[in-house]
Amino acid sequence: MDSFAVGVHDGSAFLVRFFVERFSRPFHLRELVKQCYEVGCKSLFLITLTGFITGIVFTKQSRPSLAAFGATSWLPSLITVALVRSLAPLITALICAGKVGSSIGAELGSMKVTEQIEAMEVSAINPFKYLVVTRTTATTLMVPALMLYCCLVGLAGSYLNVHANEAASLPAFLKSGFSTITFRDAFASVTKSVFFGFSIGLIACYKGFNASSGTQGVGRAANAAVVLAMFVVFIEEMLIVQVITWTKP
């Protein structure tokens, strides 16, 4: 319990420091762009694959229940609601936590144990700014973008299945799908993803930055980054959904 309290304290200090350093010069824009690219590249393939398959499978498996009520025409709107409101943000966040979280955790962890972070400090370069701020900002920007992309591929998968079975045209599919989705839904999902992305980046950086020495420390940092990030993503999902339902007009 003691170490938990220390962890919470250090973690909050890390969080506060992020906001202090985020808004002061230098901004390291080049590194930020590079990190955005890395985050996108690392997870794009997996998100495409998972999103697409989820779209197909979810459609397939929902069909019998709807067919029992003769309501297969509701498939598009059911799938769209499920994807936009919860599947896409969660899938994206979990994949990014796994792929991006582990790689940031391992990268910063090995920089820490091989004294590269100290090397930056003695060259009067602020490693927190150069490493943590850029990476966390990159995940905060990219996870929502990837989430929207995940929605698209998920819908594409679903459309293929609906088209094959119900011979729906694309405009009809989209019209029916988006009839139940409000701007509020999309906004809530983007907000959620912003929180997810931010947490994934910050947690991975925190774990990497505090890696204990040795190769073992690097592995442990990467692992802890993924586990904690996934845990926090679920907690946030729960809280944000609560807040959204409360504030529903």
Partner 1 sequence: MTAGAPPVISIRGLYKAFGDLEVLQGIDLDVHKAENVVVLGRSGSGKSVLIKLVVALLKPDYGEVVVLGQHVHQLKQKELDALRRRVGFSFQHSALYDSMNVSENLEFPLRMNTSGLSTGEVRDRIQQALEAVGLAQSHKQMPSELSGGQRKRIGIARTLILQPEIMLYDEPTAGLDPVTSGEINELIQQVREKFHTASIIITHDLTCARATGDRVAMLLDGQMLRVGSFDEVFDTQDPRITGFYKYNFTEHP
Residue number, 114 or 179, with CB nearest to partner 1: 114
Helix, strand or coil for residue 123?
coil
Residue number, 12 or 213, with CB nearest to partner 1: 213
Residue number, 120 or 145, with CB nearest to partner 1: 120
* 95 CB neighbour count, 10 Å cutoff: 23
Residue number, 10 or 121, with CB nearest to partner 1: 121
Check residue 29 for interaction with partner 1 (CB under 8 A): no
Take residue 141 and report the two structure tokens written for it.
Answer: 């920007």
Contacts of 85 (CB under 8 A, 6+ apart): 185, 188, 189
Q: Which of 123-131, 143-151, 188-196, 199-207 is the region at the interface with partner 1 (rule: CB under 8 A)? A: 123-131
Query: Binder to partner 1 among 33, 45, 73, 118 (CB under 8 A)?
Result: 118
The phi and psi torsions of 160 (rounded to 5 degrees) equal -55, -45
* Alpha carbons 24 and 126: distance in angstroms, whole number: 12
* Nearest distance from C-beta of residue 114 to partner 1, angstroms: 6
Q: Are 139 and 201 in contact (CB under 8 A)?
A: yes
Query: Binder to partner 1 among 47, 98, 107, 207 (CB under 8 A)?
Result: 107
Length of the chain: 249
Q: Is 58 exposed, middle or buried (0-12, 13-18, 19+ CB in 10 A)?
A: buried
Query: Binder to partner 1 among 5, 29, 68, 124 (CB under 8 A)?
Result: 124
Cα 60 versus chain centre, distance? 26
Helix, strand or coil for residue 196?
helix
Take residue 175 and report the two structure tokens written for it.
Answer: 């019209």
* Nearest distance from C-beta of residue 115 to partner 1, angstroms: 4
Q: Which of 52-60, 74-82, 122-130, 171-179 is the region at the interface with partner 1 (rule: CB under 8 A)? A: 122-130
Contacts of 33 (CB under 8 A, 6+ apart): none
Q: Which of 80-88, 118-126, 201-209, 221-229 is the region at the interface with partner 1 (rule: CB under 8 A)? A: 118-126
Check residue 6 for interaction with partner 1 (CB under 8 A): no
* Nearest distance from C-beta of residue 122 to partner 1, angstroms: 4
Query: Binder to partner 1 among 29, 68, 122, 167 (CB under 8 A)?
Result: 122
Contacts of 188 (CB under 8 A, 6+ apart): 85, 240, 244
Check residue 114 for interaction with partner 1 (CB under 8 A): yes
Q: Which of 77-85, 106-114, 211-219, 230-238 is the region at the interface with partner 1 (rule: CB under 8 A)? A: 106-114
Where does this chain bind partner 1 (CB under 8 A)? 26, 107, 110-111, 114-116, 118-119, 121-126
